[in-house]
Amino acid sequence: MASHRASRVRGQLQRELGDIIGRLRDPRLGFVTVMDVELSKDLHYATMFISVLGDEEAQREAVEALEGALGFIRREVAQRIRLRQVPEITVRYDDTSERAARVNAIIDSIPPPTDPAAGPDTVAEEGASQGA
């Protein structure tokens, strides 16, 4: 379990990274959202998980743009958050929302279960009585 201090730093870091990225003027950074931040136990390393609105090309370009701007981002974090050592930041694309959408689509495509004891006529009768 993460310590209270680590969870506070993680939350603050996520907010600040979101704000910093929102202010970057790189055209490759369309709609980028900082989804989560993971910190090492010693707070020296951070992984920033981002989500990008767009196709795979837009996602790749956004990650490349952020990796190129990590020096600037880290310097901004150092000015905004008072830490003994600012964590080394890495960028990862977070595809959780895409996987969730695929799972929901699969679940929605499954037909509703029927009661095998009721038989096919019961389902039709119930539909007809509800419509009347």
* pLDDT (tens digit per residue) in 10-39: 999 999 999 999 999 988 888 898 999 999
The SS3 of residue 34 is strand
Please name which of 70, 60, 76, 75 lies closest in space to residue 90, comparing C-alpha atoms.
70
pTM of the model: 0.72
Contact 52, 62 (CB under 8 A): yes
Q: Per-residue pLDDT for 45 more than 70?
A: yes
What is 4-96's CATH topology?
Answer: GMP Synthetase; Chain A, domain 3 (3.30.300)
Contact 33, 10 (CB under 8 A): no
- The H-or-E segment that residue 86 falls in is none
The Cα–Cα gap between 63 and 28 comes to 9
* pLDDT (tens digit per residue) in 90-131: 999 988 877 788 888 898 888 888 876 655 555 555 555 555
